[in-house]
Amino acid sequence: MMHRNGLRPSAQRIAVLSFVANCRTHPSADEIYSRLSGKFPSLSRTTVYNSLHALTDASLLRELEIESGNMRYDFKPQPAHGHFVCRKCGKIFDTPLPRSLADSLTPGFCIDCVEIVYRGLCDICNKQ
């Protein structure tokens, strides 16, 4: 998968990619670093950032600018989706995208991607 994108699949990169792909919390660089430094005691934050950048450039990850000053990462090959951020528990949920998002855009503009973020209370926090 990485070879196809011109990336050398080092153990660290594989770990970063599979962690983001398998964890549904849209982790930050620091969360990834904390969780992986058990497996790689010598792991450095620099390597996590290097890997995240390389994987993002290779279109295997997507950067989510959901929280200012704390980038979060998403597994890109998944179908396009929006995000719901719970203001109480802070969890980030995937949501389906509403249809015809581009309908209301000015003609002449070229859309690369659409980011949609809902903020509010998740079902559990809403009940409490």
Partner DNA sequence: TTAAGTGCAAACGGTTTGCACCTCA
Partner DNA sequence: TGAGGTGCAAACCGTTTGCACTTAA
Q: Which residues bind DNA (CB under 7 A)?
A: 7-8, 10-13, 28-30, 40, 42-47, 49-51, 53-54, 68-71
Does residue number 57 form part of the binding site for a second copy (CB under 8 A)?
no
Among residues 6, 38, 79, 98, the one that binds a second copy under rule CB under 8 A: 98
For residues 15 and 40, is the Cβ–Cβ distance under 8 A?
yes
Chosen from a second copy, DNA, none, partner binding at 111 (C-beta under 5 to 8 Å by type): a second copy
**Coil, strand, or helix at residue 95?**
strand
**Rounded distance, CA 91 to CA 46, Å?**
26
Among residues 7, 40, 67, 91, the one that binds a second copy under rule CB under 8 A: 67
Tell me which stretch binds a second copy (CB under 8 A): 1-9, 33-41, 43-51, 104-112. 104-112
Give the footprint of a second copy on residues 77-96 (CB under 8 A). Answer: 82, 84, 87, 93, 95-96
Beta-bridged to residue 73, according to DSSP, are 63
**Rounded distance, CA 34 to CA 84, Å?**
24
Vertex 66: Cα angle to 43 and 73 (nearest 5)? 35
